[in-house]
Amino acid sequence: MVIHDYLYADATGLPVDAYEEDDIETLTDDVFRHVWRAYPTLPSPVYAAT
């Protein structure tokens, strides 16, 4: 719900006229999946310096 609220907020969110509610739901799911995969632990093994 936090991701959805962030994407839908006037101050931080996506442009209202560019996205429908279904689009925001899809983007919310995409962001959640990315965070879930990229940050299973901290620091993120995906973004660790090599």
pLDDT digits (tens, 9 = 90+) for 2-47: 998 998 888 988 888 898 889 989 999 999 999 999 999 888 888 8
Q: Is the pTM higher than 0.75?
A: no
Of 33, 24, 26, which Cα lies nearest the Cα of 5?
A: 24
Strands (E), 1-50: none
Q: CA-CA-CA-CA torsion for 48, 2, 20, 25, nearest 10 degrees?
A: 70
Distances (CA, A) of 45 to 3, 18, 31, 32: 22, 34, 17, 17
